[in-house]
A and B are shown apart, each in its own frame.
Chain A
Amino acid sequence: MTRASQILRRSAALGALLAAAFAAIALVVGISVGIGDLPIPLATTFLAVTNRLGWTAAELNRIHEAVIWDYRLSRALVAAFCGAGLALSGAIMQSLLRNPLAEPYVLGISAGASTGAVSILIFGLGAGVVSLSAGAFAGAFAAFLFVALLSNGTRGGNDRTILAGVAASQLFNATTSYIVTTSGNAQQARDVMFWLLGSFGGVRWPELVLVAAIIGAGLVACLFYARVLDAFAFGDEAAASLGVNVGRTRVALFALTALMTATIVSMVGSIGFVGLVVPHVARFFAGPLHMRLLPACAIGGAIFMVLADIGSRSIVPQQVLPIGVVTALVGVPFFSVILYRFQRAS
């Protein structure tokens, strides 16, 4: 086979895979939009979207259309982008720290971002979406520094990084609860659950625009680093001896994961275990090389989060569970299995 035809065949396969992935995302988003007090058929949802895009001109129930556009579609798409971002962050942390249990929630980064966002919200520094994200970013970064210092610059070994993450989670979650219960009003005190367990309630198009921009740019930046991440497979020294600027790469990628995590947490609260579960499943299908693994994580994360959102609205009838409860129901057993296998391997 010539080189050209090989490349052509690979591109065709890649195209087919991507098309299938987007079809799967569209399907779960469509199902998610259909679920609620007012059930909407899948076909109506798709027609409502194609109507808006000007591709079709089908007659639809005006109330259905309004519910789809004003409430449910933006929520489902935000869920998809949040899932993609958390999964990407988890994959990058696992590769950089060479720890299969690393992810933003386990390492306390999400908790730090919550504290940052809550501080902005309650002490009031212009609580727009952007300033909330900035506060969350500062909190996420503080949590990163805390974990890095406590685990001795990640040289303390795998277990210590996770233990430092446990301490960071406890510290920042306690701080969040303290701030909300002592300084917030009654409504804000009830909202503490939101920051600890996450919720997609209330997200609309402005949030979608911001999260899509950050996660989209994040994915491109991650792919830029895909080969560098491969070079970390045998550790920092091995990467350095291959010509990687280890310090600069670490700072850039940790800042990137902090930015993605902070944006997500400032909108939907801290949602755990997505960054843990998805990269492991993605590795199973796409292999360990990051040029394939990272897009697989983004796609898998999007699907997983939308499914979790569907679960949160349908497990208990007439009630919405916090999204973090659903992801934890899947994530904790998964965490246990990885922990068990990891201990045996080392």
Chain B
Amino acid sequence: MSFKTDNLTWKIGRKTILDGISFEAQPGKMLGLLGPNGSGKTSLLRLLAGLKRPHSGRISLGGTDIGQIGRKALARRVAFVEQHATTTANLRVVDVVRLGRFPHRTMFSGWSPGDEEAVATAIERAGMAEKRNDPWSSLSGGEKQRTHIARALAQAPHELILDEPTNHLDIQHQLGLMRLVSSLSITSIIALHDLNHAAVFCDTLLILQQGKIVASGTPEEVLTERLLRDVFSVEARVEQSPYHARPLVQYLG
């Protein structure tokens, strides 16, 4: 079992940001989180990553309330890739990826061959092997994002949470990143803006509007012309793509 939420509510001051969120993530699948700006996507991801506590409702992971799981134990299971997290410390790619081993080590445990292997595999997986020793400041936006994903993979998580990881990337890197995430055999929950990317790569979708879930299901079930009008306020036609048989959203100006 992966994430299961039950009637989650979260507020900032008196403003309700998330309201009665209940869903279940399918293990090993890619769940896309869609919704207009300010619909609560980032807030929901932060609750799932254990960075904030819900005001009411319950989040469980593998049947256990995440409030009962220790901070480090949670970090061994769940990895989080924030929206453009950057640093002024001039770390090398490999140093950043090594941070992913933090929850697996105690204060004084040495660097083990297991740690080394996890880091090497993660760097390889994210396609950053050639840039392994490059400093952070020399990386492009896509390379920084892939380094973050390598760091997350080095955590050896069962669940990977990503907050709009394709923002500010060119189309080649957007697709490369989506392909990378969808090829992983772990459960991933990903906030996205591009509906067509969601349609192609995600197994299931969750649509948020003003803090509530307004639709959920496979891309075919969810991405309808009516929903695009009601939730995103755009006129569009949705057809089945002749190339990958997934829904294809075409905006009408």
Contact = CB atoms under 8 A, between A and B. Distances in A.
Q: Tell me if chain B binds chain A.
A: yes
Contacts of B46: 237
Interface of B: 46, 49-51, 71-76, 78-80, 82, 85-91, 95-96, 99-100, 102-103, 105, 107, 113, 155
Given A242-B99, A245-B71, A98 B49 contact: no
Nearest to B73: A243
A233 B71 contact: no
Contacts of B86: 234
Given A227-B102, A237-B46, A243-B76, 17 more contacts: A3-B113, A224-B107, A230-B95, A231-B102, A234-B82, A234-B99, A235-B82, A238-B85, A241-B49, A241-B82, A242-B75, A242-B103, A243-B71, A243-B103, A244-B71, A342-B88, A345-B88
Interface size class of A (residues with CB under 8 A): 20 to 34
A234 B87 contact: yes
Contacts of B103: 242-243
Contacts of A240: 50-51, 71
A230 B89 CA distance: 9
B102 A244 contact: yes
Contacts of A283: 90
B79 A230 contact: no
Interface string A239-264: 01111110000000000000000000
A289 B86 CA distance: 16
30 contacts: A95-B89, A98-B88, A227-B102, A227-B107, A231-B102, A233-B99, A234-B82, A234-B99, A237-B51, A237-B85, A238-B85, A241-B49, A241-B50, A241-B51, A241-B78, A241-B79, A241-B80, A242-B102, A242-B103, A242-B155, A243-B73, A243-B76, A244-B71, A244-B102, A288-B89, A288-B90, A288-B91, A289-B95, A342-B88, A345-B88
B49 A233 contact: no
B75 A233 contact: no
Contacts, number: 72
Nearest to A236: B51
Nearest to A225: B107
Given A224-B107, A241-B51, A243-B72, A235 B102 contact: no
Contacts of A216: none
Contacts of B155: 242
Closest 5 pairs between A and B when the two form their complex, measured CB to CB = A243-B75, A243-B72, A243-B103, A288-B89, A241-B80
Contacts of B102: 227, 230-231, 242-244
B188 to A, nearest CB: 15
A216 B78 CA distance: 38
Nearest to B113: A3
Contacts of A98: 87-88
B51 A230 contact: no
Contacts of A235: 82, 85, 87
A108 B128 CA distance: 43
